[in-house]
Amino acid sequence: MFIKITLFVLILISSVLPNLFNPLSMASSIFIQCLVISILSRLMISSSWIPLTIFLVTIGGLMIIFVYTTSINSNLNFKILKFSKVIFKNLILTTPFLLMNFNFKKKDFISGYDFFNMQYFKLFSCLNWIPTSLIFLYLILVLIILISLLSITKGPMRKKY
């Protein structure tokens, strides 16, 4: 029943999104969708790295959108929309779906569920520890180089003229 309700929430938010005109309200609806999708994918997959990555990338993009829109339109007012038509249409469309009796199981969502986990953990096995550690060292080296390039005293990499 939890999955049906969350799918209904996703459908409802997706149908409301085209009617929104304020970037802040659009970003909040995208945030709610991302949160629900991350929770659902965490329930489907035993590993939490993929939902966490999806969530962090989406939140980073939403932060950029928020900073951009607040710098352009800082005094934009919200328009209150009448969602009664949208909610009524969604109730009509999703009621048959909610009344169906599905047996959702964890392994029904992804075929090859065990295969996915086996492939994921082969990266960290004893046989592959040298390439994995080299990748980690490379990422740390790039991080240190970028931090030294972007020091606070030198200013940003791109200067406005």
Q: How far apart are CA 121 and CA 98, in angstroms?
A: 37
Tell me the domain boundaries of the chain: 2-122, 123-155
- pLDDT of residue 90 exceeding 70, the answer is no
Say how far apart CA 47 and CA 52 lie, in whole Å: 10
Predicted local distance difference test score (pLDDT) of residue 112? 47
pLDDT band for position 123 (cuts 50, 70, 90): low
Confidence of residue 161 (pLDDT cuts 50, 70, 90): low
Task: Say whether pTM exceeds 0.75.
Answer: no
List the single range of 10-14, 49-53, 151-155 with lowest mean pLDDT: 151-155
pLDDT of residue 122: 60
Q: What are phi and psi of 51, to 5 degrees?
A: -60, -35
